[in-house]
Amino acid sequence: MGIDLSPNEKQCNFDCLYCELKGAKTVQIAQNVPTCKEVINALLEALQKHQNIDVITLTANGEPTLYPYLDDLVDAINKIKQNHQLLILSNGSTIGNRAIQSALLKIDIVKLSLDCATQKSFKKLDRPHSSISIESIIEGMKTFRSIFQGKLVIEILIVEGINDTKEEFEALNLVLQAIKPDRIDVGTIDRPPAYDVKGVSMERVVELSSHLVGLHVNIAYKKEYTQTKRTFSEEDILELLKRRPQSFEDVKLCFDAISHQHLQKLLDEKRLHVKHIAGVNFYTT
């Protein structure tokens, strides 16, 4: 269940080329927002109506951490959320801010965007407010990781001609090894973007993701995407998982029937296991 903290207009400190919302001038704080009480009343009503909810998601037409009463809102939601998980989808821009960190520490799953590791690509793609640098975001992510006990997910969105190079992904890999997120979601443009940019092929997404070594990478495959199935011996599977854990989706797409038997045998022998990370399952050694 999503909670939109900027329901009336786009209020964001980025103006990403791939944004699904119309381009808009960046802001540092969201002013046109519902009160905490309005959000909580709407949530209470929705929780009564809908029983089958896994996650309550804080999001916005823009950046949800620009909501001025975030800390109070998180406290109020935690009081009424029962056993539902609370998730926030943020562009990561404010993660170095101590006040934002302390609000986010009380959230179960924090998902932050990190499309680029270099200031040049970051400025070109995410078009941030002039006060924001990629270095401060990366430092903020490292600090937050060191104090956050919940699940930290990083999202990378690939855009043709900007962050779709081996060099950019090698730089991202270095940064991500230091941040140590629980999971990384990688995808490309799927819906009409605000500006004239294109996504890359799923083959390219898979290829670029291979530069993220030893990390739990969850590729957002498009529905129509198929791969040639391959045969993996037990040793191949162990090698593959040592290099990078594979999501259930990865395995479904590229393992043939024999590979599935080998995988099952390794599971039965407890030479590999399944790890559940914020709603996504991975095979890992």
Beta strands in the chain (DSSP E): 2-4, 55-59, 85-90, 109-113, 151-158, 183-188, 217-219, 246-247, 273-277, 280-284
Of 21, 46, 47, 53, the one binding ligand SF4 (CB under 6 A) is: 21
What is the rounded radius of gyration, in angstroms, for the C-alpha atoms of the chain?
20
Task: Provide, rounded to whole angstroms, the least separation between the CB of residue 274 and ligand SF4.
Answer: 32
Q: Which is nearer to ligand SF4, 14 or 221 (CB)?
A: 14
Q: Which is nearer to ligand SF4, 14 or 169 (CB)?
A: 14
Q: Which is nearer to ligand SF4, 160 or 249 (CB)?
A: 160
> If we measure between CA atoms, which residue out of 172, 95, 83 comes closest to residue 139?
95
- As a dihedral over the C-alpha atoms of residue 158, residue 205, residue 223, residue 124, rounded to 10 degrees, the angle is 10
Q: In what order do the strands lie in the sheet with 85-90?
A: 2-4, 55-59, 85-90, 109-113, 151-158, 183-188, 217-219
The residues, ordered by sequence, that sit 6+ positions from 135 with a Cβ below 8 Å of its Cβ are 119
**Candidates 11-19, 114-122, 145-153, 173-181 — which segment interacts with ligand SF4 by CB under 6 A?**
11-19
**Candidates 13-21, 144-152, 181-189, 239-247 — which segment interacts with ligand SF4 by CB under 6 A?**
13-21
Contact track, ligand SF4, 32-71, x by CB under 6 A: ------------------------------xx--------
Structure-block tokens of residue 109: 């799953």
Q: Angle at which helices 202-209 and 166-179 pack, to 10 degrees?
A: 50
Of 3, 5, 19, 137, the one binding ligand SF4 (CB under 6 A) is: 19
- Interaction residues for ligand SF4, span 194-223 (CB under 6 A): none
The residues, ordered by sequence, that sit 6+ positions from 199 with a Cβ below 8 Å of its Cβ are 18, 158, 159, 160, 188, 189, 190
Q: Which is nearer to ligand SF4, 196 or 235 (CB)?
A: 196
Give, rounded to a whole angstrom, the gap between the first and last alpha carbons of the chain.
Answer: 33
- Regarding 91 and contact with ligand SF4 (CB under 6 A), the answer is yes
- Regarding 94 and contact with ligand SF4 (CB under 6 A), the answer is no
- Interaction residues for ligand SF4, span 223-242 (CB under 6 A): none
Q: Which is nearer to ligand SF4, 63 or 182 (CB)?
A: 63
- Regarding 15 and contact with ligand SF4 (CB under 6 A), the answer is yes
Tell whether the torsion through CA atoms of 260, 262, 258 and 186 is positive or negative.
Answer: positive
Residue at token pair 């804080």:
58
Helix/strand/coil for 16: coil
Task: Provide, rounded to whole angstroms, the least separation between the CB of residue 173 and ligand SF4.
Answer: 23
Task: Provide, rounded to whole angstroms, the least separation between the CB of residue 26 and ligand SF4.
Answer: 8
Q: Which is nearer to ligand SF4, 5 or 74 (CB)?
A: 5
- Regarding 185 and contact with ligand SF4 (CB under 6 A), the answer is no
Q: Which is nearer to ligand SF4, 62 or 187 (CB)?
A: 62
**Residues near ligand SF4, by CB under 6 A:** 12, 14-16, 19, 21, 62-63, 91
